[in-house]
Structure formats: C-alpha cells, structure tokens
Chains A and B, each alone.
Chain A
Amino acid sequence: MSLLEIDHISKRFGGLLAVNDVTFDVGDGEIVSMIGPNGAGKTTAFNCITGLYPVTSGDVRFDGVSIVGLPPHRITALGITRTFQNIRLFSFMTAVDNVMVGEHSRMHAKVWDAILRTPKARREERAVEGHALTILSGLGLERYADMYARNLPYGFQRRLEIARALASGPRLLLLDEPAAGLNPQEKNELMGVISHLRDEGLTIFLIEHDMRVVMEISDRIVVLDYGEKIAEGSPAEVRNNPRVIEAYLGSGATTQMHTARSTPLRPANPADDEGERPA
C-alpha cells in the first residue's frame, strides 16, 4: 500500500503555476526519486508535502489521512521529516543539540517541567540526549557531537541534517538534493546510508540531480518539468523515455540518445552536479 499519496496537487504563486496537477504515490518501504531540470517545481512539491506551502488545489494523504492544511510541526509529528537543499541546520547549536531539537515532537516535558527542571524532565533530557548520541554514532558523527553545526565539514553537515530528521522517528524521509556538493566518495557513503535506512523500514523520497545516485538507488523515479509530471517509472524506463530526454537535452536529442545508449543522462546544468562547496 502506498504511504504517501499525492493527488492532483497544484501550487500557484501569482501568475506562476509552479506545480501543475501532479499525481503520484510513494509506496511503503520504497526509495522514490524526483528529478527534473532546474525550476521544474521539485522543491515546491516538497514544501507542499511538508506543509511549508499550502497547496492551491489537490490533496496529500499520508498513510491514508489527508495532511493538507496541517502546520509543518504536525506533519513532522505524524512521521514525515525532511532535509533542505541549502543546508538549514541550527548553526550555533552543537550537533547533538541539533538532533535533540529534532526529537522535540517526541518529548513530553511541559512548560512547568522546563521551568522547574522536574525529575521527569531531567530523565527525559537524559534519555533524549542518549538517543541523539545513538543517532549521531549511527551516521558516524559521534566525534562532532559537541561542535557547533556550522563548524562541521560540509559533507558532515549534510549528514547531520539527516540525523536531525531521523530524530523525530519518521516513517517517511524527504531528502532535498542530499548529494549536492558531495565528492564521489561521500556520494557512495550517502547511498550506503540511504539503503541502510530503507532496510531499517524507512520510506525515502528524494530530489536529486546526480543521475548516478538516482539510477543506482531508486526503485522508482518521478520526473517533473515545468511543474508537470512528464514521466514515472523504473530507472530503466525513465532513462529511455523520450520526453525526459527532451526535457533535459532539448528536442532533437532523442534520436541521438537512442543511437548512443550508453551515454549517461546528465542534468541540464552541470554545475549543479558538482555543487560548489560553501567556504
């Protein structure tokens, strides 16, 4: 059964129809990728799912229940968490505090517990800190636990975002370009992490430009262009879909592509793939 159902959603910003009547679903335990040229509406779709943007029309159902109109923190509590394309860690909190923020929705300490530091709150704090450290070690971040998030090496910041997202105990993890800016070695590790998470029962839905990553780990791929879904299917199907090739390389490329099958599909903008590391 599908865990996430996207049912004819549209998102309009004034005159721009950023997401236009898109329908697909993500099955329980699947790894689904969403690809498309820059400006195709991928991140907008993510924001609609996680409640950052209200959808203009259509419905989003998680585990059969409509989540349209819920505030983002409720959606997180229901079991959908995400990472951001441009890393949005809490830069001046330590890594372990970042993960502990992620556990917020699972904690029960009330205002009075916080003010008076009741035994219940202390127990919970200790438990949550322990759990946060476990998550950090699971992702190989334990030695950075007490560093400010902004001082972590870039690749580890990406990983810390995943750690923070995992802390709320999600069933569905949305990753927005998790491989952006990573070197080939780090990309391999990332793929390892993603498959490992899937093996532990998580469903993963990601946006990615790196075709090697996408083709290697995805069970299914959804392709957006100009806000519309132009293709959906297994990596092999999508790779040979004429509309996808056209969207990426322009019309006329299709025939060439068919003659040179082995050429890997690259994104329209190669700079995205390499992704410059921030200083």
Chain B
Amino acid sequence: MLETPVSPIPADSVDLPATAGQTREVESSAIFWLLAVGGLLLVAMGWFLPWFVEPTANGIGFSPQDVVSSSPTGVGTVLVYVMGAAMLALLAGLVVDAVAVYGHRGRALRYEGARAVLALTGVVCTLAIWVLIGLSHEEPLFGALSASAQTDNAVWMTLTGFAICAFAYGLRPWIIRHTSVSLAGVAFIVGGLVPYIFNQSSDFISWAAGSLAIYTLLGLGLNVVVGFAGLLDLGYAAFFAIGAYTAGSLFGSRHGVHEIPFWVIIFLGAAVAALFGAILGAPTLRLRGDYLAIVTLGFGEIIPDAANNNLFSQTGGPNGISGIDRPGFGHFDFGTDYRYYFWALLILISLVIICMRNLERSRLGRAWVAIREDEVAASATGINTVSGKLLAFAIGASVSGFAGAFYGAELGIVTPEDFRFAVSVTALTIVVLGGIGNITGVAVGAMIVTFLIFWVLPHMTEWSTTVGHTTGITQLSTVPYEQYSFVVYGVMLILIMLLRPAGLLPSRARKVELQTGMESESLAAVRGTV
C-alpha cells in the first residue's frame, strides 16, 4: 500500500471496492448463460421443429430428416451427423455443468479443453455447411436440398444457434474477459443472418430494416443528447425529418440530381441535420430540464409543419417528396429488397456504435458527463459548456440525419406525417426503457419498443380476427389496435418508471444519479444571464 506523508489513513478504515471484480465475473457469466441457452433454444427450434411439422411448399420445407433420408451418404449428411453429435455432447455438458454450478457456487466449469475441441468441431462443421449451402446446390451434397430450400428457416436457425452455442461454450473464459466484444460480435452475426432466418416472412424483414434499424439509429443519436449530455430533447424527430428531406431532395427526381452517390448523400443529410442541431442548441443553451424539453418540443412541431406548408416550395407540402432514387453500389441496385437496406443499416449501426463508444471514453465524453453532473463545476474546471452542449446536439442530430436519409431511400417517399411527435416519443421511450446513457441498453430498448409498436400492434388485427373466428366473437376483428400505440408507450413508461427507473440496462453512473435524484442548476442561471 502506498503511503505518503499526507495520507496517514490506515488501509482498513476505508471500504475499497474489493468486490468489484467478483461482480463483474457474475455479470459476465450471466452473459455466457444467456448466449449458451439462447443458442441452444435456436438450435432446438431449427433442428427439432421440422421433425414434427409436416413440410409444406411455403413453410418449413427442409429438415435434417430430409437430408438424411434423401442422401444417406452425402457430404452434407455426414456434416449434419457430426454437427448433431457435437451438439448432443455439448448439451450433455451443459446439463452436467449447470448441475455443478448450482452445486458449488462460483466453481469453474469442467472439461474446458474437451469443450473447446467440441465447440471448434461444431464451428468448423457449421462453417462448412454454410459454405456448401452458399456455393453449391448440387444434389449429392445435401440430398433433396433444392434452391428454394437452401434459404430455409430451419437450416439457418440451426446453424446460427449452433454457432452461438459453440462460441459461448468453447470460449467461455474469453467471453468473460471480453464481454462487450463477444456480445457485439454475436449480435452482429445474428443480425446479419436475420434476413435468412426469417426469409419466409418478408414483412418481418421490412420491419427489421424500416423500423428496428431506423429506430435503433434514432435511439443511439438521442442517447448522446439525453444520455451523455443530460439534455432532454422532445423534438428529436425534427432532425430525422431534416435528414430525410435533405437526402430526398438531393437524391431523386425532384431536382433531377442522380449523379451524387447515395453514400455521399447520407453524409450530406447528416451534416445538414447536425447544422440544425447546433442551430436549435444555440438559443437553448441556458435552459435545462423542463424548459429545454418544451423548446425542443416546439422545434419538433415546427419542422413537420414547415414541411407540410411547402417551405420555400421545396418540401412538396402534404404530399412530401416522392420519386427518391434507390441506392446501390455501382450497377448493383438495392431496389425494393429490404434485405440490402437491412444489411447496410446493420453496418452503419455498428459503425455508429463504435463511434459512440469512442466518444464515451474521450475528452468530449468526459466533458459531457461533467456538464450533466454539475455544470458550474464543469465550467470552473475548464470545460466550455457552450461548445460541449452544441456538440452534443449536433452529433446527436447527425446520427438522426443518417437514419432519415435511409428512411427516405427505403420508402422512396418522405411526407411530413412520417416525422410527427410519435417519432420523438418512440425514440425517447427507447432510450428511457433501455437505459439512459447505455449503448447496449438503447439497442435492447429499440428491439422491444419497435417490436411492440411496429410488429405486434399491426399484426394484432390479423391475430385477433383468427381468434375471433374460432371463438365466434366477431367483434375481435374490428378492434383498431394500431390506434392504441400511445397506450403502449404510456404503459411501458409507467412500468419502467415504477420498476426500473434507470432503464432495463442502466449505465452504472446514471443508476445512482437517479436514485439520489440529482439535478444541478445551469451555469447561465448561476451567472444571472437567464
């Protein structure tokens, strides 16, 4: 223990965070179990469902059973058997280990080496099957596997689940050491496979590209403003609109500009949104909390209204801007295939997340936390609170500008009604629900909120009609479920505030801040310049 003349306090008189390491270990093994069990569930679904469900032309048409029965000696069959054996061995290991872990808390899992070998075998088989399916449609490889069956739900579920499982199992110590990297890696791979896993359901993919991915971006951007810098913004949809209108005007038939590539346009959209972020930020610098929320709320209303009134004859009024070009790479056109938008957005989201994590740990990120915690002390410590807040607004808005540019390109049209208050509410709900200031939390929040609002609600009519027919309650088919979206937001927000006020996955600092109810006064108020 380092003791200098000026610190004569004995070591044992202070409660040092000696348990920090242990807590981390527990959290990380929770992630391990999540991955292992989640992966196994996916495997089970993909593997075993087809044995019970009658294959149909449109539904689950391919199963390991088919492979085995149609070509008992094919390479594919061998791979499937090896993979199955490895999977069963790992499953047995999971049971044994679960028992062992319950029996002796904190004890390390056994047969680390054997598990690693099994996992490696599984991964190699999985990769081989992927490659074979991707490259070859020939009968001997997979027996009855046809061109349409190669993209079957069951196969992709099995393969993905197995990969996750093998990864979790074989590399447990590594996962515990690199929690966020492994989570991000798995999320990226699973995300990339979503269009394959759900290839039978095109509206699921359009939901994933049009709602999930877009709102994840919006949540990530709003998180900079609300989470990092602590500035409540209720008009975030305005920047989304600005990005969409900028890109829509530049990229399409409206101004006949077809030369600028889409990948340049999205940056223009982001830049214009950032500029407006700074423009909104400037007059609101001296405001905090409720007052800031009201100003941003107003801004969020002004922008769609201005667009609705055909501002400078550039926004097309209520009809918006249509005929937006479809993006692509060179001669390859995305067209209306949502899979490509989804993949492009997945890459964009990954890049944004990397940038956000960099920001969080940078000079600027520290300045934001300092401004959020105590603006007066921050300025006395040498932080320019004016530029700090403006940068938060601008960076937050620019992410939303990216989202807007993609949104317009996906739909081919932008109208003022796409950017109403509901968009701001959704983005804010995502951030609050997921965990203010936590990037992973925002991603999780986006999944939950967009799933409920943009997947479950629109499908409720369909489902309840079916239920109504079978039960004879015909009224069920006429309930306008989609009108209840604000009820869902309200219930979600009330529940989260009652049960987990810091969000599902709170950032550690924000959790304590909320518990102690901290709110510092603004520098402007202290200086008397309000």
Contacts and interface: CB of A to CB of B under 8 A. Distances in A.
18 contacts: A50-B380, A52-B380, A53-B528, A72-B523, A76-B380, A90-B369, A90-B370, A101-B366, A104-B381, A106-B382, A109-B363, A114-B359, A115-B362, A117-B362, A140-B6, A146-B17, A165-B381, A192-B5
A217 interface: no
Interface string A132-145: 00000111111110
Contact of A125 (B17, B362, B382, B510): B362
Given A125-B363, A143-B1, 17 more contacts: A52-B376, A52-B380, A72-B379, A88-B374, A90-B374, A90-B378, A92-B508, A92-B510, A101-B366, A102-B381, A105-B383, A109-B363, A111-B364, A114-B363, A115-B359, A142-B2, A148-B512
A92 B512 contact: yes
Contacts of A88: 374, 376-377, 380
Given A73-B384, A143-B2, A153-B9, A90 B364 contact: no
B243 interface: no
Interface in B314-363: 355, 358-359, 361-363
A90 B369 CA distance: 8
Given A90-B373, A92-B373, A114 B6 contact: no
Contacts of B391: 111
Contact of B527 (A53, A81, A89, A114): A53
A193 interface: yes
A-B pairs with the 8 shortest C-beta distances? A140-B7, A105-B382, A114-B362, A92-B509, A76-B382, A88-B377, A72-B379, A117-B358
Nearest to A152: B14
A91 B517 CA distance: 13
A54 interface: yes
A1 interface: no
Contacts of A90: 369-370, 373-374, 377-378
A52 B2 contact: no
Q: How large is the interface on A (under 10, 10 to 19, 20 to 34, 35 or more residues)?
A: 35 or more
Contacts of A104: 363, 366-367, 370, 381-383
B498 interface: no
Query: Which of A89, A113, A138, A140 neighbours the largest number of chain B CB atoms within 10 Å of its CB?
Result: A140
B529 interface: yes
Contacts of A100: 366
Main secondary structure of the interface of A (DSSP, over half): helix
Interface string B1-40: 1111111110100111100000000000000000000000
Contact of B362 (A71, A81, A109, A165): A109
A156 B13 CA distance: 13
B369 A93 contact: yes
Contacts of B509: 92-93, 148
Nearest to A11: B528
Interface of A: 13, 50, 52-54, 71-73, 76-77, 81-82, 84, 88-93, 97, 100-102, 104-107, 109, 111, 113-117, 121, 124-125, 137-144, 146-148, 150-151, 153, 156, 159, 164-165, 168, 185, 189, 192-193
Interface in B422-449: none
A52 B382 contact: no
Nearest to A100: B366
Contact of A137 (B2, B365, B512): B2
Contacts of A138: 4
Nearest to A105: B382
B386 interface: yes
B17 to A, nearest CB: 6
A107 B9 contact: no
Given A89-B377, A121-B362, A71 B386 contact: yes
B381 A168 contact: yes
A125 to B, nearest CB: 7
A75 to B, nearest CB: 8
Nearest to B529: A54
A84 B377 contact: yes
Contacts of A106: 382
B95 interface: no
Given A53-B527, A153-B14, A189-B6, A93 B382 contact: no
Contacts of B499: none
A76 B391 CA distance: 21
B6 A139 contact: yes
B524 to A, nearest CB: 11
B379 A73 contact: yes
B385 interface: yes
A222 to B, nearest CB: 21
B513 interface: yes
B137 to A, nearest CB: 43
B380 A72 contact: yes
Contact of A71 (B366, B377, B384, B395): B384
A124 B529 CA distance: 35
Contacts of A193: 6
A164 B364 CA distance: 17
Given A146-B17, A147-B17, A73 B382 contact: yes
B376 to A, nearest CB: 7
